[in-house]
Chains A and B, each alone.
Chain A
Amino acid sequence: MSSLPLIAHRHPDAVMAWRGGTPVRVRQFLGEVDHVAGQLPPGRHVLNLCGDRYHFAVALAASIVSGRISLLPSSQTPESLRQMQRFAPDVFCVTDRADSGVELPLFHFPESQPESPAEPVIPQIDSDQVIAQLFTSGSTGMPVPHPKRWGSLVRGVQAGAERLRVTREHALVGTVPPQHMYGLEFTVLMPLQIGAALHAGHPFYPADICVALKDLPRPRMLVTTPYHLRMLLAEQSALPAVDLLLSATAPLSQNLAVAAETCFAAPLFEIYGCTETGQLASRRTTAGAIWQTLPEVHLRREGEAVWAEGGHIEAATRLHDDIELMGAADLTTDFAYFLLHGRHADLVNIAGKRTSLAYLNHQLNAIPGVRDGVFLPPPEDAADAPENVRRLTALVVAPELTPAALMQALRERIDPLFLPRPLLFVAALPRNATGKLPRQATQNLLASQRAPNTDAIPS
């Protein structure tokens, strides 16, 4: 049985996090992990909703050392949380908020801090231990679990850190929550596994991001998304120094990448990956559009599908993007190179958050009073940069429902980013004899609806 340490810091007084302007040292972290692990309720499944990234890291580590599994659903709507309870009836929620609004057994992150141990011992974790289940929305209405083993996660983040040249000297600010794969890997596990420091905040506005960065010593790394990066650069004045930029969740335009590198005088990398596999490949966007896989990660085409395997990936995984492999798909080379041409037709990515139209349609049609309904992706517009956010449209047949009631029912079920804008009520959908919706007929209906309609969003 092989095992890997919980954290890679070399000294008990090394800084592993920054809260406000205050450093948190390894001995304090290990003391708190022990303290929290000893107080957790008996359930074996944990929904870690801590907003403070340091609290999240402590609760995650406490769950790991006590053999618990963290559940990370793709959204936190009431319906998603009920699904987590169906998946694991013993699940409880760890929160550091007074009013979580969550209808699950709650464990409040303890305010009191234990004394830091004089000679802390870094726990060793079995490489085969499943420490988390990350969920994708699937296509049937039931979320699909993806078990994550400790060894695979650690190998993945170490390979990513090496590629991006992140060192133990770095301190990281993340604008993404730690409750999804990208945030978990790059804002929590990576700093823990290379012995770097994470910023406890989850800054929201550009001004918050600037303050969080200024809290940190250099070199600083910003882990963000195309969307947050665009907002940050739009506030050109008084940007603090950043030494390394990382973007993921959706492709970045060349223009924005060049602007970011010029503005910060720092390299910008993008990571490509998915919930199923975690990170897979990277590119220095200003150097070109071609992605290079992480060491020993290979891609192989089988008919229409591209599969990823090797490296930290435990089992060959089918990718859901339209990928063009470059050169010979030769397993004797260390890397594969490819171009990304967007998502498959059923998949949507709104402001970096992904789901499938099938899932959204399932949720829409499960609402009492909805006789028929369909979500439509935003129109393709090649001139529009990918970091600009466009929304979904829904056509729905629900004569007994008001727009407000239907929106409220949807809000219970799907992430706010996927709520339709506009939501259009129609008498019937143009289904053909086989029950399918021909694209052209749907587009015609949409065009006829859009022209005169000005009251699509209910007030």
Chain B
Amino acid sequence: MPDTNQELQNEVAELVASALNLDISPDEIEPDAPLYGEGLGLDSIDILEVALVVSKRFGFQLRSDDADNTRIFSSLASLTQHIAANRTK
């Protein structure tokens, strides 16, 4: 992974951990483990919280009729990729 994406991934992990008040440190979020359900255990309310901080920090809004929506939240790595591809700031 290029360094810039690694940096972004760290930033996203930090956003997720702080937005959700998770009792874990950002570097404990495994990049390829699912964020939803099993794995990190996020639910739909968490996903909305994450969507809000993503829109504020990166300047684009998540949509659920995006065909890739389930893939976007399949892991920290895929969320990072989606942000890298769509960010406006």
Contacts and interface: CB of A to CB of B under 8 A. Distances in A.
Interface of A: 203-208, 211, 227-228, 231, 234-235, 351, 389, 407-408, 411, 416-417, 419, 421-422, 453-459
Contacts of B61: 205-207, 235
Interface centre among B28, B38, B44, B65 (most CB of A within 10 A): B65
B interface SS class: loop
A211 B40 CA distance: 30
Given A227-B48, A235-B61, 11 more contacts: A204-B48, A205-B64, A206-B55, A208-B65, A234-B52, A389-B45, A407-B38, A411-B38, A419-B43, A457-B22, A459-B29
Given A455-B24, A456-B23, A205 B40 contact: no
A286 B51 CA distance: 29
Given A205-B64, A208-B64, A389-B45, A457 B40 contact: yes
Nearest to B39: A459
Contacts of B44: 204, 416
Interface string B52-65: 10010000011111
Contacts of B37: 411, 416
A228 B41 CA distance: 20
B78 to A, nearest CB: 17
A454 B45 contact: no
A205 B44 CA distance: 10
B30 interface: yes
> What 5 pairs between A and B have smallest CB-CB spacing?
A416-B43, A207-B61, A456-B23, A204-B64, A351-B45
Contact of B63 (A208, A416, A419, A458): A208
Nearest to B25: A454
Contact of A207 (B22, B24, B30, B63): B63
Contacts of B52: 206, 231, 234-235
Interface of B: 21-25, 28-30, 33, 37-41, 43-45, 48, 51-52, 55, 61-65
B24 A459 contact: yes
B18 to A, nearest CB: 14
A interface SS class: loop
A207 B52 CA distance: 10
Contacts of B24: 454-457, 459
B54 to A, nearest CB: 10
A205 B45 contact: no
Contacts of B45: 227, 351, 389, 417
Nearest to A424: B23
Nearest to A234: B52
Nearest to B51: A205
A70 to B, nearest CB: 23
B62 A205 contact: yes
Interface centre among B28, B41, B62 (most CB of A within 10 A): B41
B87 to A, nearest CB: 15
B14 to A, nearest CB: 15
B43 A459 contact: no
B65 A454 contact: no
